[in-house]
């Protein structure tokens, strides 16, 4: 059974502060690493898909990095805003399907 772990499980950040969290995954049989943003009462929405070691992706104030050799990815949010409050899921893509981590629940305090 593949183990995809995210830390921390939950995080409270003051509006305007920057933050980051971690996804760790198996370093073997790697195809891609996905990040999703999941707002309460909605469906998960894809943020990034990363495939190459050293990949960096950016969308607005959110960015992600990938290290496939050591099996981790970081998601960074710069200058947090209340609308960033959500659960952030990472998923390891191996053969045919994704294996999701449990998510990091981010709450931005105004």
Partner 1 sequence: NAGVTQTPKFRVLKTGQSMTLLCAQDMNHEYMYWYRQDPGMGLRLIHYSVGEGTTAKGEVPDGYNVSRLKKQNFLLGLESAAPSQTSVYFCASSPNHRVGKEFFGPGTRLTVL
Least separation in angstroms between CB 35 and partner 1: 10
Say if residues 22 and 4 touch (Cβ distance below 8 Å).
Answer: no
Say if residues 51 and 101 touch (Cβ distance below 8 Å).
Answer: no
Q: Which position among 20, 22, 99, 107 is part of the footprint of partner 1 (CB under 8 A)?
A: 99
Q: Which position among 15, 39, 45, 56 is part of the footprint of partner 1 (CB under 8 A)?
A: 45
Structure tokens at 86: 């959500």
Phi, psi of 82 (to 5 degrees): -55, -35
Report the interface residues with partner 1, using CB under 8 A: 1, 31-32, 34, 42-46, 49, 89, 91, 93, 95-103
């Amino acid at each position: 059974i593949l183990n995809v772990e995210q830390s921390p499980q939950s995080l409270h950040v003051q509006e305007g502060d920057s933050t980051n969290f971690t996804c760790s995954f198996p370093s073997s049989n790697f195809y891609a690493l996905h990040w999703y943003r999941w707002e309460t009462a909605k469906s998960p929405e894809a943020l990034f898909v990363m495939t190459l070691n050293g990949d960096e992706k950016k969308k607005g104030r959110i960015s992600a990095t990938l290290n496939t050799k050591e099996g981790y990815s970081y998601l960074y949010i710069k200058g947090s805003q209340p609308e960033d409050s959500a659960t952030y899921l990472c998923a390891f893509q191996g053969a045919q399907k994704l294996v999701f981590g449990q998510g990091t629940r981010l709450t931005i305090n105004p």
